[in-house]
Amino acid sequence: MSPRRYELSDFEWSIIEPLLPNKPRGVPRSDDRMVLNGIYWRLRTGSPWAEIPERYGPSTTCYNRFVRWAKIGVWDRIFEAVSRAYDGDLQMIDSSSIRVHQHGANGKKGGLNKRRPPLGTSLEAAAWGAREAD
């Protein structure tokens, strides 16, 4: 069976596995590779956490592990290790080099800035002078 689109290859897993925190006491954790695949699926698709497919385990497990590992710097270590392992073989698309379709380029310059409240302004509707719904 071929690997799924959003899942780690065996090579990537061999790089990442030693970098993950290991807490041997307490309740056994969900499979790290399965949870990582769920996290990567969510990040690559842009879907909400609750829509992670069941094959990756509970969405709350994926979310909690993502947040905890972000706090202790695991993601930084993973990114650096995978970047070193591929040694420039990966290519990324920078959004500044992508042209907008002709129909998406009809807005006025600076139009969005006029609609935003000044910095420090409350985001409550009453602060903007809007009336509440009756």
| Structural domain contains residue 115 | no
Residue 113 has pLDDT above 90, yes or no: no
| Structural domain contains residue 111 | no
**26-30, 62-66, 112-116: which range is least confident on average?**
112-116
From first CA to last CA, the distance across the chain in angstroms is 59
Containing structural domain, residue 78? 32-91
**Which amino acid, one-letter code, is at 100?**
V
Q: Which two tokens stand for residue 106?
A: 């009809």
pTM of the predicted model as reported, rounded to 2 decimal places: 0.61
**Which amino acid, one-letter code, is at 124?**
E
Q: What angle do CA 127, 133, 134 make, to 5 degrees?
A: 135
| Structural domain contains residue 2 | no
- Tell me what pLDDT residue 1 has: 47
| Structural domain contains residue 46 | yes
Measured in degrees and rounded to the nearest 5, phi and psi for residue 55 equal: -65, -15
Q: Which two tokens stand for residue 23?
A: 């807490």
Query: What does the pLDDT look like over 13-56, one tens digit per residue?
Result: 999 999 998 877 777 888 899 999 999 899 888 889 999 999 99
| Structural domain contains residue 75 | yes
Q: Count of domains in the chain?
A: 1
The candidate with the shortest Cα–Cα distance to 57, out of 70, 38, 74, is 38
